[in-house]
Structure 1
């Protein structure tokens, strides 16, 4: 009904009783539902719903094996699911049963054609997993199914190498003895993968093919040989000019692979051919960061030290210990060797400082005292008086003990005792050099000075008024 029709019915509805109104509402609702059904039948059919999420067969089978869902595994196998399907790590449902000790599903998988010697990315077989986990019943089932007792994984280990359980190990060794396996045959089989790869590399080289072909992940044959520890293969590739610095998609070099899988011999070999021990991956990891084995870390540390020493020698930097042995006693590390005559050398500076500390005098003052001593030695014994000795002795007492002071004392000890003025006069009269007209007066320092009398001033001059030089008896004049 339209809105206008409802408005027109309002006066009639108001006059109805409650029961009549309820009956009218029911009729109207019934009519409304009938019209809705007719409208839906007239509409086109709706779109089909989106299908449910569907997983790959290998994911479903492996997930059902992990849950130990026997019925689900059987259903998937009945739907023709491949029992040898594996995930990105190469793990098959048979590997998972060996790890979980699930005998029932393992028998079902073997019955449906599962490969008993399937290998994952680390080349582990189900027998490796069962022997490592010490699941003796699983080991017996796999041996009965024809498992390879001499299968070698990426680390070069056979199932009996990684088995620590005595009973499980007895089962494996008993089967090996029953099959007639000897130690020489074990050694031959252990080196078989490396020998096979070496033969393949030689064949490719003879055919003229490139030996640095990359896999989808960017790895090369050298990466594989370094990770697996194939020394002969890696040496052959390096001698064939394969670069040890080649990188995969994650910027891993062969030295990273060797460090990650604990192959110290391969690390040394790669570094001998120019491998970079400091190289970093896409995540900034060096070989030392990827290594977990202690002995391999020691090898890497030794190579790092050798590389640092080689770089120092390449730039001409000598060892400080050897260099210090060639220095003299007073030679500073920053100054080269100097001769003893150079006053500006380190030895001369130390000597000047030591003399200044002992005597309290500067070198110039010491030199002046030496010159003064030389002058005193040139004076005659008669020119040195008691006053001079007293003044010099008084001045020297205030000075500290020094080599020049000892020189002055020695020179004073050698001089004679000064004479009095009367003794000087008697000596002059005896020698006949005294003049009656001259007055001898002692000098301040003990020497004498001749003075003329006032009346004799004119006699000492010549006709032109100039003073004539008189003859003196003292040594100084």
Structure 2
């Protein structure tokens, strides 16, 4: 194809050509142009083909990691390929995303020859997957006796504990295989104490680490790479002691990991029923949802744990309902109490007075019933007092005849009579302001003034008068309680009671001390309404 400069140089020559010559020249140039374009298209198509071929070659070649290739060859029991890979230096301990090695897989599938090749190549006989299962766990669970013998002969750990806390013999259900494992454990001198120690070794180590963090003042809620806290790990593994220690240190029970799981989700998923009870008792939410809207009940696959979760959920709902009912009843009581207070404040003075009267009437009835009971008791006391007074007067006369000499026996009788009199009506001790005199003077604490009270009362009371005085005083006191006497004024120190005796027509005034019993029912008088204020005249015109 001609260049632009060449076309400009040919313009003068073309201008001198005839019309027929110019047409031929244009056709020639057009043919040359088409040839150049065709060549260019051919070259472009060849380049595209080469690119496509190179892309096809690259896309058709698939390369897998050595771990997948080795595990796949072991699963197919391809002995030659496995041997070839081992010869090329590929490690026999390669594992997939679940931590499963080729030795695990061959123990599950019972490929004894492949197991021998891997063990000879240096495979780890105690390799653990993500759930801490060893090849011996897998062989014992499947009941492959020959593989169990082969693994034990190569040093398999009989006390290896998986994530569920199980050893190989815990998972074995085949009797012959179990007998062989137990025999091997006995030959190695394994005791029950050692078994228990191995089971608790990991939890003990975790507890020791947590105590070290506590002493250092570290935060126990710090999450790991998957946002799982220490309580998540303890709940997933069923470490009850570790969880108790964390909860005592106020570890958060509602933290979420990368999947939105709380510790209760982990305990429910792995079927740790005691851990579920512990977490719920410390306030774990049974309705907590993960990022996939899963509750602990949704992720639980164990029937026993599921039943426990349902039971705890029912109990929790029942407790919440009872608390709501209690709160509502308290609110109703508070509102009703407030309304009652408002009603009482609006009651008039007359209504309050009538209310007081009714209350005092009820109280008077109670006091009357009590007075009847006291009267019956006083009758019995009167009989006892009469006998004591007779004995008292006899002793006093004997003392006078013997020059007021009292022997110890008589003193005991005096003290006894004083005590009885004090229990019946008056105190055994002297009244305030009274000098301590003889026992006879203190026993006669009640005195009666006759109609001739203006005269000087003699200190020596006759026996009959003292006897009737004490008996009559008790009857008077009982009568006062039954409203037989007029009410007394509350300001007097000594109450005066008028009494008509059946034996004489003379009126006697009786004085009772504070020890003579309860006063008449003064407080039963109803309050009276205030009288209306009197209108005083302010001037003479009114």
TM tier, shorter chain?
0.5 to 0.7
- Aligned equivalent of 1:109, options 110, 115, 118: 118
Partner secondary structure for residue 157 of structure 2: coil
> Structure 1 regions of 5+ residues with no counterpart?
1-35, 321-477
**1:311 corresponds to which residue?**
320
Distance 1:256 1:172, change over 3 A: same
- The 5-angstrom pairing of residues 355-434 of structure 1 reads none
After superposition, the CA RMSD in angstroms is 2.4
- The 5-angstrom pairing of residues 426-465 of structure 1 reads none
Shift of 1:63: 1.0
**2:393 corresponds to which residue?**
none
Shift of 1:50: 1.3
- Aligned equivalent of 1:88, options 91, 97, 104: 97
**1:278 corresponds to which residue?**
287
**2:482 corresponds to which residue?**
none
- Count residues in correspondence: 282
Distance 1:211 1:83, change over 3 A: farther
Deviations 1:244-283 (A, max 9, x none): 1111111111101111111111111112222111112222
**1:50 corresponds to which residue?**
58
Distance 1:319 1:108, change over 3 A: farther
**2:134 corresponds to which residue?**
125
Contact 1:312 1:318 in 2 (8 A): no
Deviations 1:352-402 (A, max 9, x none): xxxxxxxxxxxxxxxxxxxxxxxxxxxxxxxxxxxxxxxxxxxxxxxxxxx
**1:143 corresponds to which residue?**
152
Contact 1:152 1:158 in 2 (8 A): yes
**1:300 corresponds to which residue?**
309
> Structure 2 regions of 5+ residues with no counterpart?
1-38, 330-542
- Aligned equivalent of 1:252, options 240, 252, 261: 261
Shift of 1:317: 4.9
Shift of 1:292: 2.5
**1:234 corresponds to which residue?**
243
Shift of 1:46: 4.5
Partner secondary structure for residue 113 of structure 1: coil
**1:368 corresponds to which residue?**
none
Structure 2 distance, partners of 1:90, 1:174, is 30
Matched, 1:76 2:85: yes
Structure 2 distance, partners of 1:87, 1:209, is 35
TM-score normalised according to structure 2 size: 0.49
Shift of 1:84: 1.4
Shift of 1:318: 8.3
Structure 2 distance, partners of 1:217, 1:78, is 38
**1:333 corresponds to which residue?**
none
Matched, 1:99 2:108: yes
Structure 2 distance, partners of 1:211, 1:180, is 40
Structure 1 distance, partners of 2:270, 2:213, is 26
Task: Choose between structure 1 and 2 for higher RCO, CA contacts under 8 A separated by at least 6 residues.
Answer: 2
**2:426 corresponds to which residue?**
none
TM-score normalised according to structure 1 size: 0.56
- Aligned equivalent of 1:185, options 177, 184, 194: 194
Structure 2 distance, partners of 1:103, 1:70, is 11
Partner secondary structure for residue 241 of structure 1: coil
Partner secondary structure for residue 50 of structure 1: helix
Partner secondary structure for residue 316 of structure 1: helix
Deviations 1:201-226 (A, max 9, x none): 22222223332232332222211111
**1:159 corresponds to which residue?**
168
